[in-house]
Amino acid sequence: MTVSIAAHTSRPTVDLETVPSSAAAARSRAREVAGRITVDAAERDRQRRLPYAEIDDLTSSGLLAITVPQRFGGPDLAPSVVADVTRLLAAADPNVAQIPHSHFVYLNLVRLAASDSLAQRIFGDVLRGGRVANAQSERGGKTVAEVTTTLRRDGDRFVLDGEKFYATGSLFADTLAVLARLPDDGAEFEAGEYIAFVAADAPGVTIVDDWDGLGQRTTGSGTVVFADVAVDPGALIPRAPAVALPTGYGAFAQLLHVAIDVGIARGALDAAADFVRTTSRPWFEAGVDRADADPLTVQRFGELGVEVATAEATLDAAARAVDAATANAHQHTRDGGRDDLPNGLESIAEASIAVAVAKTVADRAANNVSSALFEVSGTRSAAGELALDRFWRNARTHTLHDPVRWKYQHIGRWVLRGERPPAHGVI
């Protein structure tokens, strides 16, 4: 399906008092939202019905504002809390969980590298219910890192031109964070890559609902076209300071991807257990009356349970490492610093490696468990009306986001030679 649409602008208004102010409150709120969004998750997937109501529910819960720094009026909750919220939502519907991924990642960029005036605007909007989505990846380049979208000076403003693909969450966003390349400005801006914060309904912005992935079908990950879009210079953030310095930017972004995969694994295991308890028939050679009494099925569930628990534990360890590594950088920006981020190279490297380890474990668990769902549940589980294949399709699609084979490379170099992973934002 290819449909050009307007951005979703009828967002709910958030009462600041509803924003969870503690880790326990955020996790509790996430469980409540997860309990609601799981009800029609299979139907939404089968019909490819976009989760507008579910994203409004998530917005109203206040969870999208939990990382807003305290000095801008937010609770400033840790990366581990965001990871837990993401994991809980992903077990219910990984589409809904992936939609705010870039929202949290770009709020972290604002924290680390934005001017005070831009930070005040973006964080203030989020506290009122605003949503941010990415417009980063492009088709057709030699590699995924190539950026052809451009900014050009036009008097006292810039003009943005280009086309983005895989712009997850753009259909639901109020603000788009657009990665673009700026040639030498000849003035106050150096040449390089910038993030431009643009209203999703700004003149010249076209959001196209053309995402047709086999999984994660309702994430709104289609195309966004920018044609002569006006950008205020104050809405630009240079990307390099957040990515190249020891801020933990990449580790935080990757941690949330891990949480989505771990949530998928847990959701698949829970769905399989429920199906076997309520619907599956035992194999006749087992000599039992119920499928959940078949000793071979019990054995397989034990193996799958260990795999999921291992993924959850590894995610938790990685989240704690990211918490520790980013605490100093976050404190620095809370105190108003911008130019002299702490030299926490070793702790940032350790966090990135911990997240890479968790990613390899989560990738395997999500794909293995979602596939084994059919093995343990039997022929009936393959019925199309059940949409149980969504777990495997979601896992297979989301784990393609960045290849684990390169995670093993970085882990191996660290273990063997003590070589720190590169600072490019995706490890």
Interior angle at CA 164, CA 163 and CA 169, nearest 5: 140
For residue 400, being part of any structural domain is answered with yes
For residue 231, being part of any structural domain is answered with yes
Look at residues 167, 172, 192 and name the one whose alpha carbon lies nearest to residue 182.
Answer: 192
For residue 167, being part of any structural domain is answered with yes
Backbone angles phi, psi at 164, to 5 degrees: -115, 150
CA distance 306 to 312: 10
Residue 185: give its domain's CATH number: 2.40.110.10
Within this chain, do residues 162 and 259 fall inside the same structural domain, yes or no?
no
Within this chain, do residues 170 and 204 fall inside the same structural domain, yes or no?
yes
* pLDDT at position 244: 79
Strands (E), 296-425: none
* pLDDT at position 60: 97
* pLDDT at position 339: 44
Residue pair 258/362 in contact (Cβ under 8 Å)? The answer is yes
Q: Is 36 exposed, middle or buried (CB count within 10 Å of its CB: 0-12, 13-18, 19+)?
A: middle
Residue pair 426/250 in contact (Cβ under 8 Å)? The answer is yes
Look at residues 36, 133, 45 and name the one whose alpha carbon lies nearest to residue 95.
Answer: 45
Within this chain, do residues 28 and 65 fall inside the same structural domain, yes or no?
yes
Residue 94: give its domain's CATH number: 1.10.540.10
Look at residues 317, 131, 158, 319 and name the one whose alpha carbon lies nearest to residue 228.
Answer: 158
30-35: long-range pairs with CB below 8 Å, 24+ = 30/61, 30/63, 30/84, 30/85, 30/88, 30/89, 31/88, 32/61, 33/57, 33/58, 33/61, 33/63, 33/89, 33/92, 34/88, 34/89, 34/91, 34/92, 34/93, 35/92
Within this chain, do residues 258 and 366 fall inside the same structural domain, yes or no?
yes
For residue 368, being part of any structural domain is answered with yes
Within this chain, do residues 232 and 102 fall inside the same structural domain, yes or no?
no
Within this chain, do residues 182 and 255 fall inside the same structural domain, yes or no?
no
Within this chain, do residues 395 and 315 fall inside the same structural domain, yes or no?
yes
Look at residues 76, 366, 355, 406 and name the one whose alpha carbon lies nearest to residue 215.
Answer: 366
- For the chain, how many structural domains are there in total? 3
Last residue of a domain, one of 238, 258, 281: 238
Within this chain, do residues 310 and 191 fall inside the same structural domain, yes or no?
no
pTM of the model: 0.94
**Chain mean position to CA 64:** 12
**Residue 115: domain span:** 16-131
Within this chain, do residues 329 and 234 fall inside the same structural domain, yes or no?
no
For residue 425, being part of any structural domain is answered with no
Last residue of a domain, one of 221, 238, 255: 238
Within this chain, do residues 226 and 298 fall inside the same structural domain, yes or no?
no
For residue 137, being part of any structural domain is answered with no
CA distance 264 to 205: 33
CA distance 62 to 73: 13
For residue 353, being part of any structural domain is answered with yes
* pLDDT at position 327: 87
**Chain mean position to CA 8:** 19
Within this chain, do residues 324 and 215 fall inside the same structural domain, yes or no?
no
Last residue of a domain, one of 72, 101, 131: 131
Q: Token pair 């999984």 is at which residue? A: 215
Average pLDDT for runs of 10 along the chain of length 427: 51 85 98 98 96 98 98 97 98 98 98 96 97 94 88 94 97 98 81 96 98 96 98 95 86 97 98 98 96 97 98 98 84 48 76 98 98 97 96 98 94 96 85
For residue 350, being part of any structural domain is answered with yes
Look at residues 191, 249, 203, 256 and name the one whose alpha carbon lies nearest to residue 230.
Answer: 203
* pLDDT at position 426: 85
Per DSSP, the residues of 66-85 read TTS-GGGTS----HHHHHHH
Residue 354: give its domain's CATH number: 1.20.140.10
Residue pair 185/150 in contact (Cβ under 8 Å)? The answer is no
Within this chain, do residues 190 and 263 fall inside the same structural domain, yes or no?
no
